Amino acid sequence: MVNAPAPGPTASFDGLDFANWGDGHPPDENGDVGPTYYVQVVNTSIGIFDKATGNRVGAFTFDTFMSQGQFGNLCDTDNFGDPVVLYDTFEDRWIITDFAFKLDGSGSVANPPGAFQCIAVSKSGDPVNGGWNYYSINTTGGLGDYPKFGVWTDGIYMSANMFDYAASGGYQNSRVYAFNKAQMYAGAPTMQVVQFDAPLLDFTLLPADARLQTGTPPPGAPNYFISTWEYLNALTVYKFHVDWDHLSLSTFTGPDIPSTGSSRINQSVPKAATPANTLDTLGIRAMARNQYTNLGGAESLWTTHTVRRASNGFATPRWYQVNVTGGTVAASTLQTATWDPDGANITYRYVPSLAIDRAGNMAIGYSTSNLTTHPGIGYAGRLATDPVNTFSQAEQVLFQGTGSQSGSCGSTCTRWGDYTSMTLDPSDGCTFWYTNEYYTVNGLNDQTRIGAFKYSQCTATGSGGTLSGQVTDSGTGAQISGATVKLGAGRSTTTDENGNYSFTPLPAGVYPSVTATAAGYDPDTVTSLVVNDNATTTQNFGLTAAATSGCITDTTRSDFQGGVATDVDLNSSPGDLLLPKGAIIDQQQLDNSGFGISFNTNNWTGQTFVPSVSGQLIRLELKLFCSNCFGSNPAVQVEIGTASGGLPAGPILAATTIPGFSNGGAAFYTATFASPPTLAAGTQYAYTLHTNTARTGGTYAAIFSSNSSAYANGDRVQSTDVGASWDIAVTNGSTSDLSFKTYVQSDYAASGIFVSSAKDANPSPAGSPEWGTLSWGGSVPANTTLNFQAAANNDLSGTFNFVGPDGTANSFFNNGDPLSQFNGLRYLKYKAFLNTSDSSVTPIVSEVTVCFSDV
């Protein structure tokens, strides 16, 4: 039985081409769709199209577009590519971004200034005439390559593969970011940014992208990052939770490792044949986007990438659905399948992208070609009612190219993509829009195509609904005029003379939050507000009058975590601010033979060493790999104890684990001790490695040195009886040493700065704030200093310029000094400066109090 093709295109028109708008190969084409427009980006231009007619209503280069932001950095002049565009369906806003850097004469990224990520967000839902707000970050420490983005209810999330600046620079790790979209959409002068580095061996993490039409994440749900890189039979899923009020409480955890139930053939994916150049299929990396759905109470992640069909097979798409309901990543995927309708090495299919409609139907698009057929653009899919892992909607042609990529772009031009883009129309929640590249004639003038289609089994949304209500004083019942009601992060309105407000029309769906604020009142927020088509949702607010005087004290860790600490420790003494202690490398052995010694539940390995300084052992870095590994990945147990006669002999001083892995490439893995042991200089210790659970396939191994004199103060040791007895290890008649680094806690940093959260006097409309005194408690040992400044503004998103009592940045407040110079300004922050000239001691702040009254 042969399935019928997916529905034919309902729209198909050309996007941007290389001759007029391109710069380099591949074009990196992708796009997104809004209520009226389709926005496409390529290297290095932007095109805006009327989706009803296909007419291009605007096009410009990234330099032209981004220079309007007047960044004062390379985003004004040197936009380099890897563009991304997203439409935020929750807020009716657009996001356009790319990276910027310069190359020096050797082809390396010039540093300084390094590389930047340039970001523009629209001021409204109109990308043509509505205006834009501009932001940028420097991806410090390297080039943030292959940046990928996702929209979430609380922010905009990004990932990048970090590489050294040098032209021959190696891969460092993946890095993830979260940006405060509420600040960006409001046009704040700066935005909050939270970032984490992902584990070394993972690559190309995709943030989840949510859409109102396919389900809103529950309140507080983390963004989920997914990767297809590390395992043949599993995915890796990470959780990124951001706390915008307490940035230091933000976390990036994982990975969870859902099994895919079946293994793909191997890590190698063939290039795609065409009548001209063979094409890079982007290997096994995950392809944007990582689509999130919340349909019928079930939360899922959907993603795809290119794999090898069989051991000698063509490239073809593989796709996954992972259940993450309630924040729990399921142990195995709901669906895993490879889309290979030929089954006989007839057609290469590569660089896929997928999306899901509001009914749970899925569509996947990709490029197609073989030795005799020019690259074309195809798509296929499944209905929500199809049996698991199957497609009932067979391959349909969006557009068939009549030429192939040929010629040289420095060398034979093989790059293709690097990605395509399947997205869902917010106007009906049913229509898929897809963009990909093709050629009309052989050469290097690539073309792009934009098309749309939908399944008849999806029922479109209606014309939208209304959210309205009244804001009153909860104590008196009086109507509050001029109150601000904010829907999510992007829409806001004010109440009329009767305290009434209204948003209409609104697309149907579950909105993350609606908040009412008014001068002199405490704010009130309602989450998960449902708006239905052709209906009115009523949400009233009764606000409580704010205190008219009082003192605000920061004294707990939670209080201080509301601020921003730079080289200040909030955690080692909860409720205090102090200078941090760092970590320095004490002992290390870096010689690498290229071989490893295996270890498991019975056969243990280890290394003796002698610290040169006394102090707490914060962490170990150990060079490990996994040989011929598959199946489960138990954690590696790491223990520290004393040694005698060059062998482990004493009690265990500390223990920790390294998360399991299956990567065959040797790399340094970090073992961090929650309760660091204190080691004495000149005393011999040993660290040991084993597992508590056997691997199902393959073996862990620790890299050892190529000679016996690599490390003078210890030796590699081994046990074959679960650590009951130990010997110095001998291989081929010679001793050796494991590759390792020990990190010992250093003395206090010389200086640090802490900026508090904003203290809100919140006066009534008829009132004006008067600020009282600034006072603090703590300790200031000899050779340390503790100084304070303050700043105030009536705009919480405005600039806070910190000064002392004389109004300049050259003076500091004494304990108990008045803050009257800031009277009339609603929001106040303090800034603490901690310094020491004696690295053995630190100043300590235990509490800070600011008083106010409204008159």
Classify domain 11-453 at the CATH superfamily level.
YVTN repeat-like/Quinoprotein amine dehydrogenase (2.130.10.10)
Quick: pLDDT tens for 395-417: 999 999 999 999 998 788 899 99
Residue 209's pLDDT is 99
Question: What integer pLDDT is reported at residue 552 of this predicted model?
Answer: 97
pLDDT of residue 709: 82
460 near 429, Cβ under 8 Å?
yes
Residue 467 and residue 531: Cα distance in Å, rounded?
Answer: 7
Using an 8 Å Cβ cutoff, are 418 and 282 in contact? yes
Q: Which two tokens stand for residue 534?
A: 């052709």
**pLDDT tens-digit series, residues 523-562:** 999 999 999 999 999 999 999 999 999 999 999 999 999 9
CB 162 within 8 A of CB 173: yes
Q: What is the dihedral of CA 599, 601, 607, 612, to 10 degrees?
A: 130
Q: Which residue has the tokens 């899901």?
A: 356
Topology of domain 582-747, per CATH?
Jelly Rolls (2.60.120)
Secondary structure E strands in 756-810: 759-760, 769-779, 784-793
Name residue 389's amino acid: N
The tens digit of pLDDT for each residue in 610-633 reads 999 999 999 999 999 998 887 788
Given a cut of 60, whether residue 570 has pLDDT beyond it is yes
Torsion angle (degrees, nearest 10) of CA 557, 558, 564, 569: 20
Widest distance between CA atoms in the chain: 91
- Looking up tokens 């508590």 gives 692
Question: What phi and psi values does residue 306 have, to the nearest 5 degrees?
Answer: -100, 135
> pLDDT tens digits for 7-18?
999 999 999 999
Q: Tell me the whole-structure pTM to 2 decimals.
A: 0.87
Residue 215's pLDDT is: 98
Interatomic CA distance for residues 403 and 444, integer angstroms: 10
Other Cβ atoms closer than 10 A to 675: 9
Query: Does residue 560 sit in helix, strand or coil?
Result: helix
Q: What CA–CA distance (Å, rounded) separates 479 from 501?
A: 11
Residue 200 has pLDDT above 80, yes or no: no
Structure tokens belonging to residue 321: 């659905």
DSSP 89: T
Domain 549-580+749-854: CATH class, spelled out: mainly beta
3-state secondary structure of 780: coil
236-241 and 223-227: which strand pairing?
Answer: antiparallel
Q: Nearest to residue 520, comparing CAs of 495, 548, 497?
A: 548
Q: Is the pLDDT confidence value at 444 over 90?
A: yes
114 close to 139: Cβ distance less than 8 angstroms: yes
Q: Hey, what amino acid is at 784?
A: T
The secondary element (H helix, E strand) that includes residue 453 is strand 447-453
- Weakest mean pLDDT among 61-75, 142-156, 262-276, 575-589: 262-276
Contacts (Cβ under 8 Å, ≥6 apart) of 616: 676, 677, 678, 679, 744, 745
The Cα 348–Cα 371 span in angstroms is: 9
pLDDT for the residue 1: 52
Give me the mean pLDDT over the 768-784 stretch. Answer: 97
Q: What is the CA radius of gyration of the chain?
A: 30
Q: What average pLDDT score do residues 504-533 get?
A: 97
Q: Amino acid letter at 417?
A: G
Which residues in the chain are classed under CATH 2.60.40.1120? 465-543
Coil/strand/helix, residue 561: helix
User: Strand 685-691 to strand 604-609: parallel, antiparallel, or no bridges (unpaired)?
Assistant: antiparallel
Residue 2 confidence (pLDDT): 62
pLDDT mean across residues, the chain: 95
Cis peptide before 375 (omega within 30 of 0): no
Confidence tier at 377 by pLDDT (50, 70, 90): very high
- Does the structure show a pLDDT above 80 at 265? no
Location of each CATH 2.60.120.820 domain in the chain: 582-747
Residue 853: phi and psi, rounded to 5, are -150, 150
Q: Please give the structure tokens belonging to residue 806.
A: 């004389």
In sequence order, what are the residues at sequence separation of 6 or more whose Cβ sits closer than 8 angstroms to the Cβ of residue 156?
A: 86, 88, 95, 119, 121, 149, 150, 178, 179, 181, 184
**Pairing assessment for the beta strands 45-50 and 37-42 based on DSSP bridges:** antiparallel
Q: How far is C-alpha 59 from the geometric centre of its chain's CA atoms?
A: 29
Q: What is the DSSP letter of 433?
A: E
- Answer whether 534's CB lies under 8 Å from 526's CB: no
What is the Cα 427 distance to its own chain's centre? Answer: 28
SS (H, E, C) 677-701: CEECCCCCEEEEEEECCCCCEEEEE
3-state secondary structure of 67: helix
Question: Mean pLDDT over residues 110-122, rounded?
Answer: 98
655, 689 Cβ separation under 8 angstroms: no
More confident position, 99 or 839: 99
The answer to whether the beta carbons of residues 86 and 48 sit under 8 Å apart is no
Say whether pLDDT at 369 is over 60: yes
Q: Which residue has the higher pLDDT, 248 or 685?
A: 685
DSSP states of 455-501 as a string? Answer: -TTSPPP-S-EEEEEEEEETTT--B-TT-EEEETTTEEEE--TTSEE
End-to-end CA distance of the chain: 81
Coil, helix or strand for 663?
coil
**CA separation for the pair 620, 607 (Å, rounded):** 12
Are 131 and 163 within 8 A, CB to CB?
A: no
Tell me the two tokens of residue 373.
Answer: 């057929």
Q: Which residues does residue 817 pair with via DSSP β-bridges, in sequence order?
A: 774
Torsion of Cα atoms, 152 then 153 then 154 then 156, to 10°: 30
Q: Is 123 helix (H, G, I), strand (E, B) or coil?
A: coil
Neighbours of 239 (CB within 10 A): 19
- Give the integer Cα–Cα distance in Å for 182 and 531: 21
What is residue 343's three-state secondary structure?
coil
Give the whole-angstrom CA distance, residue 609 versus residue 645.
12
Residue 232 pLDDT exceeds 80: yes
User: Strands, E, within 574-722: which ranges?
Assistant: 577-578, 581-589, 596-599, 604-609, 615-630, 636-644, 647-658, 667-672, 678-679, 685-691, 697-703, 716-719
Q: What confidence tier does 664 reach under pLDDT thresholds 50, 70, 90?
A: confident
CATH code for the structural domain at 465-543: 2.60.40.1120
Q: How far apart are CA 262 and CA 423, in angstroms?
A: 28
Q: What DSSP string describes 254-306? A: EEE--B-SS--S-S--PPBP-SSS-B---TT--EEEEEEEEETTEEEEEEEEE
Residue 481: per-residue pLDDT? 98
Per-residue pLDDT, 578: 97
Is the CB of residue 42 less than 8 Å from the CB of residue 448?
yes
The secondary structure of residue 110, as a DSSP letter, is P
pLDDT tens-digit map of 285-325? 999 999 999 999 999 999 999 999 887 889 999 999 999 99
Q: What angle do CA 532, 535, 539 make, to 5 degrees?
A: 85
Helix (H, G, I), strand (E, B) or coil at 243: coil
Of these ranges, 187-191, 495-499, 665-669, the one predicted with the greatest mean pLDDT is 495-499
